[in-house]
């Protein structure tokens, strides 16, 4: 399944086929199947013990159905889910699309309907293969009783039919709170605290750190009103955001641990991992490799391996981190895998974007320390004539690598503003990123001069919200706007403007054959970039990986030969 069809899966589920050719032509409203849970793991109990599926009324060509999950037989439900789908999820082969998705949690009294703000349709939780694991599907070889399958698969375990009941009333739910969520623009900060100074602290002659305090309940409405819709929270802070039209991340444990499986049905809870931290920076600074890494191709291959390895892991920054934490808390998954696949790398080395996205991470967020004078100086080394770039040109240069990589791989991109960024250019940085299709606009909170003061974060969020209101864009999941020029780099090379001490094949004088090849490549790339800038053409940097690259009026290939 491609990235563009995941995270809520566009409200589409992949559902199991009905065995023996048996299909429900339409189970009568009020029919209810009561199921016991058979554990798929040896010598351990199932995570829940009773599941009840009820068919509701039809709306046009769609059907309502209800899923109740109980910890113990006869107990009050942990959760009740209602779905309106274009097919019976337990009867039809192929795909069933969710029109509506409504979750009731008796313990908290919440009744929440999750909707995609752009489509008005259901927004589903973003776990990979949500339909396979979180919606009951017909077991292979199952027969039926009164239209209800005798065997179902659910949460990695097996359900066995105890009895079928008929004529159950479909009660109307009162007090439903509708959460309209925007998964196409995620605005947030990487911490759950703020500074108290309310201004930038001077970092010369000595660096100063800020004083940080956790966000309190009253501050979340302020952030939401400004346009922030993504929060990393502690268990104590979760209650202030979980029934609001925003997304949140938190770990599994704490004084109020996650409740399984209830909290995984909340469409605005997106997991425990916000980002993979700086894969490229950590690689080039790794003492195990940086004295022996010789070529750019060493770095790009090793980077892809490390991204893949960390993504597939159960540890920190891994897609299975939450699964592992829940297992340690005693949750038994059976054959189910809980994969939080949809998170980006947070990275300084924006020129590595293609290699990171190609390795499987879902997006990349650039650590934006945009300083125009510094940028002019580092680019001048590779051009015949120094150029006074405009702020727009500086930003387009950085975003060209990010947007180009995302377009090639089907991933996403964005920027994060840091305290080192020139304050006067930050509003342009966030609005231009939005206009060019960024999904992430983040801010960094922590660490001396890296820190972006909270008052600036709020103001930039307001600027972005106002800009988006005046200039709405097309869906980032739709067809990409055509870009004028695609500048194609040879595979295994990087356009690196920083210190190249870690590429051992490049001697300090730049006289080796490899250094000369790199120099030719850099000059040619920057010639094409500046030619596009002079012609006021839009441009991206892409990598020649042997596959067709679409979405450009013309392609310009550069070589180090």
Separation CA 356–CA 346 (nearest Å): 11
- The CA distance from 172 to 185, in Å, is 33
What are the tokens at 76?
């009050």
Does residue 161 form part of some domain? yes
The last residue of a domain, from among 160, 178, 196: 178
Q: How many domains does the chain have?
A: 3
Long-range contacts of the stretch 312-320 (C-beta < 8 A, 24+): 312/360, 317/273, 317/275, 317/276, 317/277, 318/273, 319/128, 319/273, 319/343
Return the CATH number at 389.
3.20.20
Mean pLDDT across the chain, nearest whole number? 93
Same domain, yes or no: 245 and 372: yes
Residue 10: what pLDDT? 44
- Are residues 91 and 231 located together in one domain of the fold? no
Task: Inform me whether the pLDDT recorded for 6 exceeds 80.
Answer: no
Q: Is pLDDT at 194 greater than 90 in this prediction?
A: yes
- Does 279 reside within a domain? no
Amino acid 95: pLDDT: 62
Task: Tell me the whole-structure pTM to 2 decimals.
Answer: 0.94
Measure the CA–CA gap between 329 and 235, rounded to whole angstroms.
15
* Mean pLDDT for the stretch of residues 305-332: 97
508, 460: one domain: no
1 has a pLDDT exceeding 70: no
Please report the pLDDT score of residue 344 as a whole number.
98
pLDDT, position 91: 77
Do 167 and 188 lie in one domain? The reply is no
Whether residue 432 is contained in a domain is answered as yes
The pLDDT of residue 89 is above 90 = no
Q: State the average pLDDT over residues 110-128.
A: 97
CA dihedral (465, 467, 469, 474) in degrees, to 10, reads -110
| Range list of β-strands (E), 440-525 | 440-443, 483-490
For the cut 50, the answer to whether the pLDDT of residue 348 exceeds it is yes
462 pLDDT tier (thresholds 50, 70, 90):
very high
> pLDDT for 206-238, tens place per residue?
999 999 999 999 999 999 999 999 999 999 999
Residues 161, 23 share a domain:
yes
| 94, part of any domain | yes
The whole-number average pLDDT for the span 182-198 is 97
Question: What are the tens digits of pLDDT across the range 425-441?
Answer: 999 999 999 999 999 99
pLDDT digits (tens, 9 = 90+) for 127-174: 999 999 999 999 999 999 999 999 999 999 999 999 999 999 999 999
Residue with the bigger pLDDT between 363 and 92: it is: 363
pLDDT > 70: percent of the chain: 95
Check residue 510 and give its pLDDT: 86
Q: Using CB atoms within 10 A of its CB, is residue 492 exposed (0-12), middle (13-18) or buried (19+)?
A: middle
Q: Are 100 and 111 in contact (CB under 8 A)?
A: no
Residue 536 has pLDDT above 50, yes or no: yes
Distance (Å, whole) CA 249 – CA 247: 7
> What pLDDT is attached to residue 73?
85
Residue 316 lies in a domain: no
* Domain boundaries, position 241: 182-274+344-470
| Both tokens assigned to 242 | 């979980």
pLDDT of residue 3: 45
Give the dihedral of Cα atoms 282, 284, 288, 290; nearest 10 deg: -170
Residue 89's nearest CA partner among 47, 123, 56 is: 56
- Same structural domain, 252 and 132: no
Whether the predicted pLDDT of 252 surpasses 80: yes
| Closest by CA position to 241, among listed 270, 213, 199 | 270
Whether 446 shows a pLDDT value over 50: the answer reads: yes
pLDDT tens per residue, range 55-73: 999 998 999 999 999 999 8
> Could you tell me the pLDDT band of residue 74, with boundaries at 50, 70 and 90?
confident
Same domain, 117 and 200: no
Q: Flag whether 331 is in a domain.
A: no
- Whether residue 299 is contained in a domain is answered as no
Q: How many residues does the chain have?
A: 561
Identify the DSSP state of 27: P
CA–CA dist 488, 501 (Å, integer)? 25
Residue 26 pLDDT: 75
Q: Which of 120, 143, 178 is where one domain is finished?
A: 178
In angstroms, the CA 251 to CA 312 distance is 18
Same domain, 390 and 515: no
User: Do 463 and 402 share a domain, yes or no?
Assistant: yes
How many angstroms separate the CA atoms of 149 and 261, rounded?
22
Do residues 33 and 148 lie in contact, with contact meaning Cβ atoms separated by under 8 Å?
yes
Same domain, 120 and 266: no
Which one has a higher pLDDT value, 259 or 92? 259
Residue 208 near residue 228 (C-beta atoms within 8 A): no
User: Which residue among 123, 155, 178 closes a domain?
Assistant: 178
**Quick one: pLDDT band at residue 125, thresholds 50, 70, 90?**
very high
Lowest mean per-residue pLDDT among 18-22, 348-352, 415-419, 477-481 = 18-22
- Of 211-220, 258-267, 327-336, 506-515, the range with the lowest mean pLDDT is 506-515
Q: What is the pLDDT of residue 509?
A: 87
Note the pLDDT of residue 5: 42
Would you say residue 9 has pLDDT above 90? no
- Asked whether residue 317 is assigned to any structural domain, the reply reads no
CA nearest to 60, candidates 5, 100, 92, 20: 100
Confidence at residue 409, expressed as pLDDT on a 0 to 100 scale: 97
Shared domain for 136 and 228, answered yes or no, is no
pLDDT-based confidence at 25, cuts 50/70/90? low
- Whether residue 548 is found in the same domain as residue 408: no
């Amino acid at each position: 399944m491609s990235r563009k069809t995941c995270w809520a899966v566009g409200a589409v589920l992949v559902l199991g086929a009905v065995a023996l050719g048996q299909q429900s032509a339409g189970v009568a409203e009020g029919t209810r199947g009561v199921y016991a849970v058979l554990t798929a793991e040896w010598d351990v109990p199932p995570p829940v013990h009773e599941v009840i599926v009820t068919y509701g009324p039809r709306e046009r060509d769609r059907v309502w159905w209800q899923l109740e999950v109980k910890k113990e037989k006869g107990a009050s439900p942990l959760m009740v889910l209602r779905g309106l789908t274009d097919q019976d999820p337990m009867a039809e082969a192929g795909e069933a699309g969710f029109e509506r998705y409504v979750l009731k949690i008796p313990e908290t009294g919440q009744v929440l309907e999750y909707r995609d703000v752009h489509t008005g349709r259901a927004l589903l939780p973003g776990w990979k293969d949500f339909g396979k694991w979180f919606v009951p599907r017909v077991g292979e070889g199952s027969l039926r009783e009164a239209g209800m399958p005798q065997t179902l698969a659910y949460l990695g375990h097996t359900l066995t039919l105890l009895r079928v009941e008929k004529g159950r009333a479909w009660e109307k739910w009162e007090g439903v709170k509708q959460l309209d969520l925007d998964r196409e623009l995620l605005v947030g900060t990487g911490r759950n605290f703020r500074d108290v100074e309310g201004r930038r602290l001077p970092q010369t002659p000595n660096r100063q750190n800020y004083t940080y305090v956790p966000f309190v309940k009253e501050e979340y409405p302020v952030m939401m009103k400004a346009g922030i819709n993504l929060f990393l929270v502690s268990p104590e802070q979760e209650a202030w955001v979980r029934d609001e039209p925003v997304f949140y991340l938190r770990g599994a444990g704490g004084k109020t641990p996650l409740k399984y499986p209830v909290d995984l049905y909340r469409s605005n809870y997106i997991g425990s991992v916000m980002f993979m931290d700086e894969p490229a920076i950590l690689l080039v600074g790794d003492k195990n490799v940086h004295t022996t890494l010789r070529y750019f191709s060493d770095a790009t291959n090793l980077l892809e391996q490390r991204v893949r390895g960390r993504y597939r892991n159960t540890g920190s920054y891994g897609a299975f981190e939450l699964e592992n934490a829940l297992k340690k808390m005693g949750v038994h998954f059976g054959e189910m895998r809980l994969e939080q696949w949809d998170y980006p790398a947070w990275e300084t080395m924006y020129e590595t974007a293609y290699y990171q996205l190609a390795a499987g991470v879902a997006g990349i967020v650039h650590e934006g320390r945009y300083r125009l004078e510094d940028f002019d100086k580092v680019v001048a080394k590779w051009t015949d004539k120094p150029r006074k770039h405009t702020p727009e040109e500086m930003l387009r240069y950085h975003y060209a690598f990010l947007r180009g990589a995302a377009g090639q791989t089907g991933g996403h991109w964005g920027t994060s503003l840091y305290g080192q960024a020139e304050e006067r250019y930050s509003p342009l940085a966030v609005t231009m990123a939005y206009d060019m299709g960024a999904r992430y606009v983040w801010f960094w909170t922590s660490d001396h001069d890296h820190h972006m003061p909270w008052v600036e974060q709020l103001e930039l969020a307001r600027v972005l919200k106002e800009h988006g209101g005046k200039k709405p864009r097309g869906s980032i999941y739709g067809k990409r706007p055509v870009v004028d020029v695609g500048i194609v780099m040879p595979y295994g090379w990087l356009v690196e403007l920083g210190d190249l001490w870690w590429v051992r094949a490049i001697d300090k004088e730049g006289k080796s054959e490899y250094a000369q090849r790199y120099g030719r490549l850099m000059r040619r790339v920057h010639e094409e970039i500046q030619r596009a800038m002079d012609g006021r053409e839009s441009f991206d940097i892409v990598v020649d990986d042997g596959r067709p690259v679409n979405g450009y009026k013309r392609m310009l290939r550069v070589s180090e030969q």
